[in-house]
Amino acid sequence: TYVVTDNCIACKYTDCVEVCPVDCFYEGENMLVIHPDECIDCGVCEPECPADAIRPDTEPEMEKWVEFNRKYSEMWPVIITKKDQLPEAEERDGETGKLDKYFS
């Protein structure tokens, strides 16, 4: 599976949802997640994210992100249409500590 990681937080560009063939992105207030059981591993969303927030779970230490994506994809509504990025997306791209700030 692919997963959305912390740099999506406070950016939420949503370019990713336009290309997913199985519509498996789910939307929270500050970020999106991918449902790990619905993702077919096609990889087309990865290069679409301007914040480079989408990673394959084959990279090191991705297990916590798989669980994070699973948890919130079961709570949040599906998103299938691109919308405007969050207002501070460009400034906050690359900021560290966003996970703790929003999900502690």
Applying CB under 6 A, which residues contact ligand F3S? 4, 8, 11-16, 32, 48-49, 51, 53-54
The least distance separating ligand F3S from the CB of residue 32, rounded to whole angstroms, comes to: 4
Q: How far apart are CA 43 and CA 76, in angstroms?
A: 22
The least distance separating ligand SF4 from the CB of residue 40, rounded to whole angstroms, comes to: 5
Contact 67, 33 (CB under 8 A): no
* Cβ-based nearer residue to ligand SF4, 9 or 20: 20
24 is a site residue for ligand SF4 (CB under 6 A): yes
Q: How far apart are CA 47 and CA 53, in angstroms?
A: 10
The least distance separating ligand SF4 from the CB of residue 62, rounded to whole angstroms, comes to: 13
Name residue 103's amino acid.
F
52 is a site residue for ligand SF4 (CB under 6 A): no
Q: How far apart are CA 75 and CA 45, in angstroms?
A: 22
